[in-house]
Amino acid sequence: MLIQDILRRKRDAEALDADAIHTFMRGVADGSVGDAQIGAFAMAVVLNGMNRDEAIALTEATRDSGQVLRWHDLHLDGPVLDKHSTGGVGDLVSLVLGPWIAACGGHVPMISGRGLGHTGGTLDKLEAIPGYDVTPDDARFRRLVKDVGVAIIGQTGTLAPADKRLYGVRDVTATVESLPLIVASILGKKLACGLDTLVMDVKVGNGAFMPTAEASRELAEAIVAIGSSAGTPTSVLLTDMNQPLADCAGNALEVHEALRLLRGEGRDSRLYRVTHALATEMLVQAGLATDADDAAIRLETALASGEALERFARMVHGLGGPSDLAERPAHYLAPAPCTTEVVAPRAGTVNAIDTRALGLGVVELGGGRRNAGDAIDPRVGLSHITPLGERVEAGQPLLRLHAASQTDADAVSRRLREAFTLGEPDPAVPTSLIHATLRQETSS
């Protein structure tokens, strides 16, 4: 089948069969399809869309374009499961969830990414830990998944290579915003990990990846349907991102916060509640718990016993980090040289937070990337972020800013201050944390 024929059919809004899609994606992976052809395909999909069968075939072809991990030879004593988030600000769920699930009997081969735009990246957070290797060889990765129960690493060159190339072209051809392309990119990498079950966290709100609540819901529904149809039971929680999930944002700061939760602290936080909800869904869906109540008991035991923290510590050490990070985090996670407070210009209740602006503030401080090759300063970020609904007086802190210099702090302080909308208490301020849970053929 000629690639030109495939492109012509998609250009003319014809539906492609699975063979055509697999042929095209094999060519993307092995280099026989050129960048111009990839761009033409992506633009045709953006303009003409894909039906459900095409979207499933594209996801499967992305998954099958490289190595698909198999675990049967390791004789694991529990299911292989994972979670993925569409990203946000202060979203360090993966750092807590992976070891927590491992402590409950799961095996979590978590392939994570770097920061994108205003959102923080799990790999960037972990690289704040000295020595942590996000690109281990396959043998070490598999050994940790078996023995520790969790390994959080970056995408290898052998997992879904077609996605890496297709995304690179989409990024420079204005073809990122396409639901079937987004879903295939997200699920292709995850399903290549040989999962028994997958739980997705799709964010909703002004700090979310998708621009509207409707778009987030549409993405969630597509992920559930396509992931499950591709052979991996998949469910989605729609969670709020109208404010940072944690009260901090920045790589080392978020590692500190993950350790705090794994020590059993912060149980009243939004971060804990979202992580607990995702963990519950994972345990029940994978058969590690009979229902939500049983899951809650298992999760509490794993946290209170210190087992979840131990799994995190073993993972860090197994991937080249210090063996005593949990006991001496301040020794390894250096603080920023300059700490200052951004204060409220007047009294009022926090009725809105421009979450995206806070995330971009971290990037401007050096905690994220403006360009792909930029170095990251793990020390910088924000902490003690005032939540929605809280009243502040004039001159009281809205957040604490951690910067490399006073000059850097001054450069972003005004924009960070303007990210908070103060006024009289507003009952319309969104308060729900879990908007919905979507499962195959059911939603709540």
Phi, psi of 148 (to 5 degrees): -95, -30
Say whether 189 is catalytic. yes
* Percent of the chain's residues with pLDDT above 90: 84
Marked catalytic residue, from 189, 256, 298, 314: 189
Q: Are 130 and 321 in contact (CB under 8 A)?
A: yes
Where is pLDDT greater, at 113 or 50?
A: 50
Q: According to the per-residue pLDDT averaged within each range, which of 87-91, 166-170, 189-193, 277-281 is highest?
A: 277-281
CA gap 114, 164 in Å, rounded: 13
Phi, psi of 50 (to 5 degrees): -140, 145
Which residue has 């729609």 as its token pair? 238
Q: Work out the angle between the directed axes of helices 179-191 and 213-229 (0-180°, nearest 10).
A: 50
For the chain, helix, strand, coil in percent to 5 are 45, 15, 40
Start-to-end CA distance of the chain, whole Å, equals 44
Least confident of 61-70, 170-179, 190-199, 314-323: 170-179
Marked catalytic residue, from 23, 59, 85, 280: 85
Marked catalytic residue, from 10, 63, 82, 276: 82
CA gap 411, 397 in Å, rounded: 17
Please report, as a single letter, which amino acid is at residue 175: T
CA gap 38, 40 in Å, rounded: 5
Q: Is 109 helix (H, G, I), strand (E, B) or coil?
A: strand
Domains and CATH numbers, the chain: 3-49 (1.20.970.10), 72-157+165-328+435-443 (3.40.1030.10), 334-423 (3.90.1170.30)
What's the whole-number mean pLDDT along residues 16-37?
96
Tell me the per-residue pLDDT of 338-362, one tens digit each, with 9 for 90 and over. 999 999 999 999 999 999 999 999 9
Looking at residue 116, its pLDDT comes to: 63
Q: Are 378 and 367 in contact (CB under 8 A)?
A: yes
Greatest pairwise CA separation for the chain in angstroms: 69
Query: What value does the mean pLDDT of the chain take?
Result: 93
Looking at residue 117, its pLDDT comes to: 64
Looking at residue 174, its pLDDT comes to: 86
Taken in order 220, 223, 226, 229, the sign of the CA dihedral is: negative
Say whether 190 is catalytic. yes
Tell me the per-residue pLDDT of 109-167, one tens digit each, with 9 for 90 and over. 998 877 666 777 899 999 999 999 999 999 999 999 999 999 999 877 788 999 989 98
For residue 110, the cross-strand partners are 152
For residue 441, is pLDDT > 70? no
Marked catalytic residue, from 84, 118, 317, 435: 84
Say whether 203 is catalytic. no
Marked catalytic residue, from 22, 63, 170, 298: 170
What are the Cα distances from residue 414, in Å, to 201, 247, 345, 397?
A: 32, 19, 10, 13
Pairing between strand 108-112 and 150-154?
parallel
Say whether 125 is catalytic. no
- For 264-284, give the DSSP string: T--TTSHHHHHHHHHHHHHHH
Least confident of 204-218, 287-301, 390-404: 204-218
CA gap 273, 97 in Å, rounded: 11
Marked catalytic residue, from 65, 185, 355, 386: 185
Say whether 83 is catalytic. yes
CA gap 438, 444 in Å, rounded: 6
For residue 443, is pLDDT > 60? no
Where is pLDDT greater, at 427 or 378?
A: 378
Looking at residue 444, its pLDDT comes to: 46
For residue 316, is pLDDT > 60? yes
Report, in angstroms and rounded to the nearest whole number, the Rg of the chain calculated over CA atoms: 22
Looking at residue 209, its pLDDT comes to: 78
Marked catalytic residue, from 23, 62, 86, 122: 122
Q: Are 341 and 400 in contact (CB under 8 A)?
A: yes
Looking at residue 210, its pLDDT comes to: 81
Pairing between strand 108-112 and 381-383?
unpaired
Our CA dihedral for 148, 238, 172, 17, rounded to 10 degrees, sits at: 90
Say whether 122 is catalytic. yes
Q: Let me know the angle formed at the C-alpha of 296 by 293 and 298, rounded to the nearest 5 degrees.
A: 115
pTM of the model: 0.92
Looking at residue 112, its pLDDT comes to: 85
Looking at residue 153, its pLDDT comes to: 94
Say whether 413 is catalytic. no
Residue 129 tokens, joined:
């830990």
